[in-house]
Amino acid sequence: MPYLFTSESVSEGHPDKVADQISDALIDNFLAFDPSSKVACETLVTTGQVVLAGEIKTDTYLDVQKITRDVIRKIGYTKSEYMFEANSCGIFSALHDQSADINQGVDRVVDSQDFESLANAQGAGDQGMMFGYATNETDNYMPLPLDLAHAILREMSVIRNNEIELMPYLRPDAKSQVTIEYSDDDQPIRIDTIVVSTQHDDFADDATMLAKIREDIINVVIPRVKSAQKAELQGLFDGDITYYINPTGKFVIGGPHGDTGLTGRKIIVDTYGGKGAHGGGAFSGKDPSKVDRSAAYATRHIAKNLVAAGLCDQVLVQVSYAIGVAKPCGLYVNTYGTAKIDMHDGVIAEKIAQLFDMRPYAIEQRLKLRNPIYSETAAYGHMGRKNEIVTKTFGSNGQTKQVEVELFTWEKLDFVDKVKAAFGL
């Protein structure tokens, strides 16, 4: 029987995403100047105020106020009427040293510097379970409802920042939601509902404003999103779609003034939009010794390579850890009955555990996670993104440093041939 499935996204100006971007900008700056930094940074944003709190172990010093203001400015909070503005907001820092009790299980001193010794010495930064998911319903192996929800807000961000004349009233805060009807064999049939709520200037009477925003979302933004899809997905836009555009009415008061933001409150937006599963741990503000982040990336890497290799149509991969212990407690695989080989999911999991070293140090090395690559993850999802090499510039204590880094390494399809060989595909 056909069914409906919904996912949501939020823009870079959403209060929780402002907090995520500040936390990850701090991570990047610490790693740029001291790649061994251990950081757990939480951010709170509210009317005219930013609070930074967390634990840090590093050999570098940063101007955290400047970094924070730069992030807020880049997002677009640059006007006093927003009641949260880059140059004038207060910034309170309560960052302090990391607990030695936690660090002792993560950074053990070893005599040898060979890979095995280092991999066995570095324990997981916390206990917990992490999940990765992939599906072949989109080219980037992401669930379609989330992919489209992200795409709508990315188009609005492009317009707000680069094509202002198209929708000059847009403000940074926005949310989207897409509901897809699927067939009973899990194939997308049509788009049922699209919801968009966007912050905006107070530019006319309420009825005129809402009518204009609705017209522009449906006639400007949605056609651009549709045209960017592959041909077989473009047809999903041709049916009778229900639109809810700013359904509560005017949305002038927004951002951190309208709603307090906290790091890590959008973990479903960050991952798979509710498909698969989530272990509960946030990503932003954590260095890669925290397996909440690194192992979630590693399981996505596994899942994507399994589907791309043709092993299955969709797959969920789980890994779990004990704090301070390098070897995972277990690896679980669920192919939802879509496996193309005559093999139980438990046997598939055993083979995968032999292909992918899931010790935290091995994950860091394989995915190059000790580099300043995290600011780009903090809005529009950590998964399904473009793997590319870029040069980033950082400044600290009057010094400028350029670093060439590879972004979204967990999206690479570099294990496809190994998977095919291991399973005889």
16 is in an annotated binding site: yes
386 is in an annotated binding site: no
Sign, CA torsion 253/259/260/266: negative
Left if phi > 0, otherwise alpha if psi is -120 to 50, otherwise beta: which for 100? Answer: alpha
173 is in an annotated binding site: yes
Sequence-distant (6+) residues with CB within 8 A of 190 are 180, 181, 236, 239
Distance between CA atoms of residues 201 and 40, nearest Å: 36
55 is in an annotated binding site: yes
14 is in an annotated binding site: yes
Q: Which DSSP state fits 390? A: E
238 is in an annotated binding site: no
378 is in an annotated binding site: no
Left if phi > 0, otherwise alpha if psi is -120 to 50, otherwise beta: which for 174? Answer: beta
Burial class of residue 95, CB neighbours in 10 A (0-12, 13-18, 19+): middle
Q: Which DSSP state fits 208? A: H
Sequence-distant (6+) residues with CB within 8 A of 150 are 9, 176, 380, 381, 384
251 is in an annotated binding site: yes
Q: Which two tokens stand for residue 90?
A: 């207060």
8 is in an annotated binding site: no
114 is in an annotated binding site: no
Q: Which helix (H) or strand (E) holds 341?
A: none
17 is in an annotated binding site: no
Residue 364's alpha-carbon distances to 131, 290, 359, 367, in angstroms, are 17, 10, 9, 6
**Helix, coil or strand: residue 379:** coil
275 is in an annotated binding site: no
250 is in an annotated binding site: yes
Annotated binding site: 14, 16, 42, 55, 98, 173-175, 250-251, 259, 265-266, 282, 286, 290
Annotated binding site for K(+): 42
Annotated binding site for ATP: 14, 173-175, 250-251, 259, 265-266, 282, 286
Annotated binding site for L-methionine: 55, 98, 259, 290
Annotated binding site for Mg(2+): 16
